[in-house]
Amino acid sequence: MTANPVRLQAIAAVEASTPPPISFDPGEEPGEIFGSNVFSLTAMQKRLPKSVYKSVVATIEKSTRLDPEVADAVASAMKDWALEKGATHYAHVFYPLTGLTAEKHDSFLDPVGDGTAFASFSGKTLVQGEPDASSFPNGGLRNTFEARGYTGWDVMSPAYVLENPNGNTLCIPTIFISMTGEALDHKTPVLRSQQAMSVHARRVLELFGHTDPDNVVAYCGPEQEYFLVDSHFFLARPDLLNAGRTLFGAKPPKGQEFDDHYFGAIPERVLGFMMDTERELFKLGIPAKTRHNEVAPGQFEVAPMFERANEASDHQQLLMTTFKSVAKKHGMECLFHEKPFAGVNGSGKHVNFSLGNSELGSLLVPGDNPHDNAQFLVFCAAVIRAVHKYSGLLRVSVASASNDHRLGANEAPPAIISIFLGDQLADVFDQIAKGGATHSKERGTLMVGVDTLPNLTKDPGDRNRTSPFAFTGNRFEFRAPGSNQTVAGPMVMINTIMAEALDHCATYLEDAVAGGTDFNEAVQALLSDIVADHGAVIFNGNGYSDEWPVEAEQRGLKNLRTTVDALPELISPEAIELFGRYGVFNAGEAHSRFEIGCEQYVLAVAVEANLTLEIGTTTVLPAALRYQTELAINVKALADAGVTPDRTGLETVSERIAALTAGLATLRTAIAHEHAADPLETARTARDQVLPAMAAVREAADELEGLVADDLWPLPTYQEMLYIL
């Protein structure tokens, strides 16, 4: 009887692999290459006439409408710059509702009648493109035969050159809309919601005495977690290859229980990959700041610095693409699935959010005495109101079949959306609720107890990793987004609900002052009302505790445990009214995103179910049957020799094979279930019938992994994938 060699060959191939050669000059200064492939403001200033440059800056900084006459001058300069960088093509890059990046490449060269060609790129071509929109998700906004869609240049997100060994491409970030003007992408609603939030943030600032304040923008600093797996193991796992996560796999003897991987020394091979990715990111102007080992073995994190939310969203998509391509060069695969390995921590993409402008800086900085900083308290109170009133929209912004495996587990915030303020701010708002804040808890000093070390400053409040929406000193950290998601979705919801909250605050204060109330008294009354009406969302305790869901229910907080529970929040009457009031989505666009959410959920579960059935039937079951046969032959041989055999092993394996066979039959029936006319009902069926059937198959298969002889087991195991790098 021959063993299945695939897994063992993969291990041997990993051991024989060598790292790629160094691809850059070790003496190269990082500052020399940062932004070198970006058509930045600096590059524009060198190449554009002064009047054109000022017009572009006004559009970026002041949100003024782009002058069409400027486009030709920008296009000409951008083309010359790109050609100097070796670009042969240009591409409008957009972000359809697949969650991935899309691009359509066109050559700069146009033929001339004499058999030659010349490079051309007009302002019209820069500003607008027309890719086929028929094959992208649209949720009923377009019929299948209606193919026309438009891309439009987003001036506020800089163009860049993407390098390739076979030729470079000028990439132009764009929106993507239908012929009738509906958003078919993630960028358009980010820009709409940003505009709405700025209008009402400026109203609040004007009440605090700021004359004609600059536009207020949302800033985003996403932390990206990911896993690395050797390519040989990846290619030997059809589930990783097709679904991005392991559908089978027993827990390894050693997992993350020793906490020895977190912030540990970065493996040499991984560090080489990180250095290569950072170099590529720097060239593209992506400010990667922090890198480290994460909690789970094989898991790591990169954290860029804060950028405008729109640009941060674009950069996040580009970062993930870069990580995947560079990982392949290093003989590895980069996994962004939220839960690629059961039993160890999954991966998130913590969205650090703040708002402000170049004139005033961040508006979420409390200062040394938060109780005296009324402006900060109003903006902070707006966050409290927004998160409490529209927690369902925040939850649905992070809803996906893949993130459902992570949310609520020990490494991720629960599906209950609450706010952590920390001791200092919680105390200030508690004082406000009781009649007025008069003091703030001060920073302390940590006495280390070692004479040669300085005393360390102690913050007035701790951090809380179990909170979905936590204040962390000068920003809020939304911890629920999944690692594979675009940050555009969460930022659209944050901007929109902040627009409503700031609108409420501005209107309240304007009406009070107009009615003769002293401004400071009006601020105090506003803050007191918000704490009274929305303070239930503030929770500084352990979000993982068994008691919290019970308490949250008593507080009236929603607990939307799965994507199927959360999706209806998109089309609730309150959501439709909110989106319409602030011009973020019309009713059709909101409904389209609901339908796409249902469809994507069903498709994701269907792919995993079919993979589970295929791998269970053609890979796991044959290996178990071979081992069962081997045991049966040995038992018979002993019996023929007059020795009473121990049948325990054979019986145990046979029981698990029977359980696996029964599970596969149940899964086959669940997959064959017809889709309902209602997309949400189809999603419920996938959640309630298909996922449990998959779990039963996995349970039997994982038990067999611990029983079948090692040389017969066909799939690379957790301990191999997580520890051999």
- For residue 630, the domain's CATH number is 1.20.120.1560
Which phi and psi (to 5°) does residue 126 adopt? -65, -45
Residue type, 81: W
**At a CB cut-off of 8 Å and minimum separation 6, what does 182 contact?**
141, 586, 588, 589, 592
Provide the pLDDT confidence category of residue 651 given band limits of 50, 70 and 90. very high
CB atoms near residue 613 (< 10 Å): 21
**Residue 5: what pLDDT?**
65
Q: What does the alpha-carbon distance between residue 668 and residue 690 come to, in Å, rounded to a whole number?
A: 9
**Residue 438: what pLDDT?**
59
Tell me the whole-structure pTM to 2 decimals.
0.93
Q: What does the alpha-carbon distance between residue 506 and residue 204 come to, in Å, rounded to a whole number?
A: 5
First-to-last alpha carbon distance for the chain, in angstroms, is 31
**Residue 442: what pLDDT?**
60
Q: What does the alpha-carbon distance between residue 402 and residue 247 come to, in Å, rounded to a whole number?
A: 12
Q: What does the alpha-carbon distance between residue 666 and residue 696 come to, in Å, rounded to a whole number?
A: 9
DSSP code of residue 290: E
**Residue 371: what pLDDT?**
57
Read off the pLDDT of residues 314-337 as tens digits, 9 standing for 90 and up.
999 999 999 999 999 999 999 999
Domain membership flag for residue 135: yes
Lowest mean pLDDT among 183-197, 443-457, 506-520, 563-577: 443-457
**Residue 173: what pLDDT?**
96
Could you tell me how far CA 584 lies from the centroid of its own chain? 21
**Residue 413: what pLDDT?**
75
User: Where are the extended beta strands (E) located within 562-664?
Assistant: none
**Residue 108: what pLDDT?**
93
Domain membership flag for residue 73: yes
Q: What does the alpha-carbon distance between residue 637 and residue 643 come to, in Å, rounded to a whole number?
A: 9
Lowest mean pLDDT among 41-55, 113-127, 577-591, 689-703: 113-127
Domain membership flag for residue 639: yes
Q: What average pLDDT score do residues 512-532 get?
A: 93
Q: What does the alpha-carbon distance between residue 424 and residue 189 come to, in Å, rounded to a whole number?
A: 35
Domain membership flag for residue 140: yes
Q: What average pLDDT score do residues 497-505 get?
A: 98
**At a CB cut-off of 8 Å and minimum separation 6, what does 14 contact?**
230, 232, 233, 724
Read off the pLDDT of residues 595-641 as tens digits, 9 standing for 90 and up.
999 999 999 999 999 999 999 999 999 999 999 999 999 999 998 89
Does pLDDT of 481 surpass 70?
yes
Lowest mean pLDDT among 22-26, 565-569, 619-623: 22-26
CATH of residue 109's domain is: 3.10.20.70
pLDDT > 90 in the chain, percent? 71
Q: What average pLDDT score do residues 199-225 get?
A: 95
Provide the pLDDT confidence category of residue 518 given band limits of 50, 70 and 90. very high
**Residue 446: what pLDDT?**
47
Mean pLDDT of the chain: 90
**b/e sequence 160-196, b meaning 16+ C-beta within 10 Å:** bbbeeeeebbbbbbbbbbbeeebbbbbbbbbbbbbbb
**Residue 393: what pLDDT?**
98
Q: What does the alpha-carbon distance between residue 464 and residue 543 come to, in Å, rounded to a whole number?
A: 9
Q: What average pLDDT score do residues 579-600 get?
A: 97
Does pLDDT of 237 surpass 90?
yes
**Residue 64: what pLDDT?**
80
Residue 682 belongs to domain spanning: 600-723
Domain membership flag for residue 389: no
**At a CB cut-off of 8 Å and minimum separation 6, what does 8 contact?**
711
Query: Does residue 362 sit in helix, strand or coil?
Result: strand
Query: Does residue 151 sit in helix, strand or coil?
Result: strand
Read off the pLDDT of residues 427-476 as tens digits, 9 standing for 90 and up.
788 787 777 655 656 655 444 455 555 655 556 556 677 889 999 888 99
In the chain, how many domains are there?
A: 2
**Residue 491: what pLDDT?**
97
Domain membership flag for residue 234: no
Does pLDDT of 198 surpass 80?
yes
Domain membership flag for residue 420: no
**Residue 1: what pLDDT?**
44
β-strand 168-178 against 87-94: which pairing, if any? parallel
Residue 163, both tokens: 């390098």
Q: What average pLDDT score do residues 679-684 get?
A: 95
**Residue 459: what pLDDT?**
62
Domain membership flag for residue 7: no
**At a CB cut-off of 8 Å and minimum separation 6, what does 85 contact?**
37, 161, 168, 170
**Residue 562: what pLDDT?**
95
End residue of a domain, out of 162, 185, 208 = 185
DSSP code of residue 152: E
CB atoms near residue 442 (< 10 Å): 10
Which phi and psi (to 5°) does residue 134 adopt? -75, -25
Q: What average pLDDT score do residues 191-216 get?
A: 95
Q: What does the alpha-carbon distance between residue 203 and residue 372 come to, in Å, rounded to a whole number?
A: 21
Lowest mean pLDDT among 102-111, 153-162, 433-442, 690-699: 433-442
Read off the pLDDT of residues 274-305 as tens digits, 9 standing for 90 and up.
999 999 999 999 999 999 999 999 999 999 99
End residue of a domain, out of 128, 150, 185 = 185
Q: What does the alpha-carbon distance between residue 634 and residue 612 come to, in Å, rounded to a whole number?
A: 31
The alpha-helical segments, DSSP class H, found in 284-398 are 309-329, 374-389, 391-396
End residue of a domain, out of 165, 185, 205 = 185
Does pLDDT of 75 surpass 50?
yes
pLDDT > 70 in the chain, percent? 93
**Residue 4: what pLDDT?**
56
